[in-house]
Amino acid sequence: MTALLVVIGLFYWIFQYFFAGGLYYLFLNEDAPKDLPNFWKMAAIYFGRFMRILLIGVILWIVVLFIYFGLLEGLSVIKKHLFNEIFSSLLRGGILAIVLVIILFFNMLLDYTKTFLVLDEQSSVLKSFLKAIGFVFKHSLNTLSLYYLVSLAGAFLIVSYLLGSTFFNGEQAVSLLILFGIQQILIFLKIGLRLEFYASQIALVKMTRWPFSYF
C-alpha cells in the first residue's frame, strides 16, 4: 500500500510539472494563443527542462531530510537532559515548523526557476535556478510574504475540509453527498490556488525592471 501511494504521488508530481510548462508559457506570453493545442505543445516543449527542475527538487528534498533527521538527533540529545515532556513536545513542534518553512522556501525557488526558464527561453536549468535564488534574496520581502500568504490560504482549505469531513462523517446518503460536494469544491479551489501561485509569482517578476542580472 505504501509503495502504491509513493507511485501515485510520483506520477502526480510528474503530471503537475508537465501541465506547468503550458501554464507558465501562457501566463508569461500574453499574446500567445490561449487554446488547448498551444497549451499541449508548450507543455511538451518544456517538459524535459521542467523534469530537470524536478531533479533539483529531489536533491533539495534530500537536504530537507538531512536537516530534519539532524534536528531530531539533536532533540534526542537534549531530551536526555530534560524531564519536562511539555517542553520536549514544544521543541518537536518547532522542528516540524522549521522543516515546513524550509520545504516551502525550496518549493518557492523551484517555482521561480520555472518562471525564469520560460521567460528567458533558457535551456540551462542551473542558470535559471541561480537567477531564481538571486531574485528571491533581492526581493525577499515580496517573494516570501506572497508565497507564505498563499500557502496559508492552502492550509486554510485543508483545515476547512478536515473539519467539514469530521462534521459530515455519517453513513447516511445526505452526509455522503454533502461530503462529496465538499471534496469537489476543494479540488476546484486547490486548482484555482495553484493557478494563483503561478500568476502572482509571474506578476511579481514582471513588475521588476528588465533586463537584470544577479550574477
Dump pLDDT digits (tens) for 110-148: 988 988 888 888 778 888 999 999 898 888 888 888 888
Task: Decide: 116 and 131 in contact? Cβ < 8 Å.
Answer: yes
Cβ neighbours, 10 Å, residue 24: 23
- Using CA atoms of 7, 9, 12, 16 in order, give the dihedral in degrees to the nearest 10: -130
* Percent of all residues in the chain with a pLDDT value above 90, rounded to a whole number: 1
Among 24, 56, 79, smallest CA distance to 194 is for: 24
* Mean pLDDT estimate for the chain: 78
Check whether 213 has a pLDDT greater than 50. Answer: no
- Contacts for 109-113: CB closer than 8 Å, 24+ residues apart: 109/60, 109/133, 109/136, 110/53, 110/56, 110/57, 110/60, 111/147, 111/197, 111/198, 111/201, 112/136, 112/143, 112/201, 112/205, 113/53, 113/56
pLDDT of residue 13: 76
pLDDT of 214:
44
For residues 20 and 198, is the Cβ–Cβ distance under 8 A?
yes
Q: Copy the grid coordinates of residue 131.
A: 537567477
